[in-house]
Structure 1
Amino acid sequence: MKNMVLLVIDTQKGITDARLFAFEKIRDNIRTLIEKARESGVEVVFVQHDDGEGSGFSVGDKDFEIFEEFRPNDGEKVFVKKVNSALHKSVGLSDYLSGKGVKKIVAVGLQTNFCIDATIHTGFDLGFEMLVPAYANSTFDSEYMSAETAYRYYNEFLWNGRFAKCIPMDDAVRLLEERRK
């Protein structure tokens, strides 16, 4: 059954680093999920955020490129967006997934309180079952809250049971491995 994808959002060189909350754990978990998805035949789809020409975070800029440890394999889809939600109509991803009959999206990446949040809300509104593995998204400290507080607020309070199912990492791995059977 190919009704599920692993969606890797905005894991770009300019923001995938030790400034993130729980960086090493997040990095290891995302890498594991990508490997398990590939081993199990679950499609891995990548999204990159383009802040516009001259921003330093646009097509052709070093910081725009996908973090080397998560690099897409040949043939894996990569979508570029200029809005927060990876599933906004302008990106084309929602139409692509709907056309393939995808029902479940395992969403990972950056940043928790921006593009991940927007994508989870949009996915919910579009009728996708949004699954969020623990410690597979992150963000930075801001003047309003610490990165850890932001992570916990969205993952442990706002999304779970409302807009998504926030699941333990072991459950996410098991879900991907079951697709192999």
Structure 2
Amino acid sequence: MAKTALFVIDIQDELALDPQTRIPDASRICDAGTALLDRARSYIDKGRSNGAPSDLEIVFVQHEETDGTLIKGSKPWELVFKPREEDDHEMLVGKQTQDTFESNPELASQLKQSGVKRIVTFGIQSDCCVQATSKGALGAGFDVTVLSGAHSTYDTEEKKAVEIERDIDEELQEKGANLLPWEQWYP
């Protein structure tokens, strides 16, 4: 059975909740994350109650730094959305680089061994970890879908965050990723 892994990328306290440091569209990303996780967990739970094996896994990605603000164990490092305890369809993956697959060299083969063929990505930051992890998944041979409107970043002097989001969507699509408005994604 071909499985899908929903990657929830770096939705952490500093980037999404702290009023001093959060990205401008943090509330939109948190609202999308809540809806997406509700859908995914309902789907998994429904399959579980029917005794059917699930074809969906949820991967929570958490960035950590040795020099910076996202120090493991600190408040800024904490996840907004956490995996459910003892749920074999949810996993936590730490990373030290923008690309989750680069930080975790065995992750691609681990996912493939469990039957994962498709990866769906959303989170923070569009132009850093969402972009790099999506490219890493493509490079590892997965079919990748990026959920438009469910990833964002900081404004720069040159561009607003929403412009950067669109640029990243276009770039990832050119590299082979599928784009889907997050509101339309259902497992």
Structures share fold, TM-score greater than 0.5: yes
Residue 173 of structure 2 is matched in structure 1 by: 160
2:109 maps to 1:95: yes
Q: Indicate if the aligned counterparts of 2:2 and 2:117 stay in contact, CA closer than 8 A.
A: no
Q: Distance in 1 between matches of 2:185 and 2:139?
A: 22
1:9-35 C-alpha deviation (Å, 9 max, x unpaired) = 111101114642433322211111111
The secondary structure found in structure 2 opposite 1:163 is coil
State the Cα distance separating 1:91 from its structure 2 match.
Answer: 5.3
2:153 maps to 1:142: no
Q: TM-score, normalising length from structure 2?
A: 0.82
2:147 maps to 1:129: no
Residue 38 of structure 2 is matched in structure 1 by: 35
Q: TM-score, normalising length from structure 1?
A: 0.85
Distance of aligned partners of 1:89 and 1:98 in 2 relative to their CA distance in 1, 3 Å threshold: farther
Residue 113 of structure 1 is matched in structure 2 by: 127
Q: Percent identity?
A: 29
Structure whose residues are more often strand by fraction: 2
Q: Distance in 1 between matches of 2:183 and 2:72?
A: 35
Task: Look up the equivalent residue of 1:35 and give its one-letter code.
Answer: D
1:77-111 C-alpha deviation (Å, 9 max, x unpaired) = 11111111012263542232122120001111110
Residue 16 of structure 2 is matched in structure 1 by: 16
Q: Distance in 2 between matches of 1:171 and 1:152?
A: 17
Q: Distance in 1 between matches of 2:176 and 2:129?
A: 14
Q: Distance in 2 between matches of 1:94 and 1:151?
A: 25
Residue 64 of structure 1 is matched in structure 2 by: 77
State the Cα distance separating 1:171 from its structure 2 match.
Answer: 2.8
Distance of aligned partners of 1:13 and 1:91 in 2 relative to their CA distance in 1, 3 Å threshold: farther
Residue 94 of structure 2 is matched in structure 1 by: 80
Instruction: State how many pairs are aligned.
Output: 170
The secondary structure found in structure 1 opposite 2:116 is coil
Gap runs ≥5 in structure 1: 177-181
User: CA RMSD of the aligned region, Å?
Assistant: 1.8
Moved more, 9-18 or 86-95: 86-95
Task: Look up the equivalent residue of 2:85 and give its one-letter code.
Answer: D
Q: Which runs of 4+ in 1 moved over 3 A?
A: 89-92
1:23-59 C-alpha deviation (Å, 9 max, x unpaired) = 332221111111111111122110111111x523121
State the Cα distance separating 1:3 from its structure 2 match.
Answer: 0.9
Residue 52 of structure 2 is matched in structure 1 by: none
Q: Indicate if the aligned counterparts of 2:16 and 2:27 stay in contact, CA closer than 8 A.
A: no
Gap runs ≥5 in structure 2: 45-55
